[in-house]
A and B are shown apart, each in its own frame.
Chain A
Amino acid sequence: MKGFSEMGDKQSPKTGSDRESGPNQAIQTGQGVQEMAKKIEIGMVVEADEGDLGQEDISEAKVTDIVHDQAGNVEIIVAEKGTIFRKQLDIPVERIQSVVQETGGNKPSGSPSKVTISASEEEVDALTAVEREAFPPEDLTRRKYGDDLLDVTGKALPTDVGLRRLEDESGLDGDTSAQRTGNLHGTLETENAREREGSTDAAGGDDKTEVFQVLGPGLLSGMAGNDASAVASYSLDGAQNGYGHLWLMLLSTPLLQAVQFACAKIGRIQQKGLAEILRDHYGRKVAVPAAMLLIVANIALIAADLVAISTGIELITGLWWAWFTVPIALTLWYLTVYQSFDAIKKIFLAMSMVFVAYIITAFFSKPDWGAVLTSTFVPHVDFGFASISTAVALLGATISPYTIFWQVQGEKEEKRSGSTKRKFRLAAIDIAAGVVSGNLIAYFIIVSTAATLFTKHQEIHTALDAARALEPLVGPFAKYLFALGLIGAGLIAIPVLLASASYGVAGTIGWPSGLSKKPWQNEASI
């Protein structure tokens, strides 16, 4: 640390004289930066003026190296961020805006030395999760937004995208307009063209509602409701109570719709996560217990799903399931941290296809359809403990704390177009798709297990027993298909569970959160 600053000091006489003799404006500003850059020491905190380098959480970006050019001037400072996710940034000297040296000496109350660099939010967001990366020299990379066009389109269209762009624009405008140079007009034009395209896309969404645009967080939470442990619970229920609880699935469908829609509405209006809303409006007395509740529920489910994946692997390999839990836990944690919301969405939908097997099996196993329909529409309550506990499990598998948190957050992050009313309608469709498909799958899991295991009076003690429900369809391959289902459902659910727990914690404490943040931006909230 000392060595570098001393090196800088040795050069100061020379640069000092340069500055006095050189009346040239450009050199003088360059020297000004150099003056500042010389004050930079290793260990200083690096902050961006606009983008979030992660200042708000515990691991701040710090200067780890200072690179000098041949003349001895500071060229690049190297900053490192994160403790687990090491992220290195090469920052060219032009980007340095100010250097503040420690004021309070060694006193703990003194503000720490820090370097402020100019970097926009887009640039910070564009950085990769790990690796070493360089911020390009400033004046070539700053993204510019055309004001005139945006003023027209952005304001005319009250979309999230438009509003966000307006915010971006107003944030960027002040300090970038001064730095614009003539040769930038080319890029400016293309940017404008891109903006125009984006805007018309958003406008087009108003007219034709594309199915896949509407489907979003609602479908996801509906599908995530069928995590591996839920599949196990449905199978148990079918094997134990036969068709006896099918009416519960019918009942829970509109209830789940109501719950999810309320979540979506709240998330849409407040543009915050549930934990944040609770904290802001009712204080920590309400927010902390709610978050604790979520965490307890999620830890139980994560454990259950880890076990489910492991038993799935056990079914395939024949090795004891417990061997697999820890490696799976680590892999999944890694995936959750490094995958973005969109990637999870895709894995999600692909994995959901495994469930289709149950629907087909339900028909193959030739259930007594008369009995199925009767028990679907005629409620039958059995007060035996086994029946009640499976009923609670069924309801819990359908309406669970994490889907509530997830839905609020998902609706907050989902970009929908049109008026508020239209957004609610789109959300309702999205949710209905998830709720109906999710519960339909659950329904058929119960039907197929009831038709196979219950009628033969087989109880489920192990995953292998549960797999027998699929035998009418695939015979001896049932255990492999079931294993695949367990693994798939578990893989889908765990990232969602982890993420919703992190929303809960981050929102309660006040850290920035979201699946689209980079790990080093909210490392602490994982």
Chain B
Amino acid sequence: MSLSLALFGLDPVHLMFWANVLQGILSPVLVVLLVVLGNSRGIMGKNKLGLVTNAGLVVAAIVMFGASALLFYGLASGQGGGWQGG
């Protein structure tokens, strides 16, 4: 909570927006963990995840990693500086 004090300088709408960008970058890591957990016999016993759920998880991870990669590419190639949204 005290961290929010440090962020006071930022424009509120920007702050909210980038907080969500951060979620988008971090979540795929957890999605991969879910794939590992959900398909482990040691953890799930005979109730391992079905094909459809697995496919959904993998697509989610790919899409999110892909989008994050593009974002980082955009930042690295200097487009970020010219960004005016928000």
Contacts and interface: CB of A to CB of B under 8 A. Distances in A.
B23 A307 contact: no
B12 A307 contact: yes
Q: Considering residues A229, A251, A302, which has the most beta carbons from chain B within 10 angstroms of its beta carbon?
A: A229
Interface residues of A, number: 76
A236 B17 contact: yes
A364 B5 CA distance: 39
Given A255-B63, A388-B74, A308 B12 contact: yes
Given A255-B56, A391-B67, A297 B12 contact: no
Given A396-B24, A420-B47, 5 more contacts: A262-B57, A269-B44, A304-B16, A325-B5, A394-B24
B67 A233 contact: no
A397 B23 contact: yes
Interface in A382-397: 383-386, 388-397
A396 B21 contact: yes
Contact of B56 (A254, A277, A396): A254
Chain B interface main SS type: helix
Interface of B: 1, 3-5, 7-8, 11-13, 15-27, 29-31, 33-35, 37-38, 40, 42-45, 47, 49, 52-57, 59-60, 63-64, 67-68, 70-71, 74-75, 79-80, 82-86
B14 to A, nearest CB: 9
Contacts of A404: 27, 30-31, 34
Contact of A303 (B19, B60, B68): B19
Contact of A396 (B25, B40, B82): B25
B45 A269 contact: yes
Contact of B23 (A236, A301, A306, A459): A301
A281 B26 contact: no
Contacts of B13: 232, 236, 311, 460-463, 465-466
Contact of B59 (A240, A255, A269, A390): A255
A190 interface: no
Contacts of B80: 385
Contacts of A390: 17, 85
Contact of A400 (B7, B15, B27): B27
B19 A301 contact: yes
A398 B8 CA distance: 25
A261 interface: yes
Contact of B85 (A304, A399, A424, A459): A459
A233 B4 contact: no
Contacts of A304: 15-16, 19-20
Contact of A257 (B37, B44, B56): B56
B5 to A, nearest CB: 7
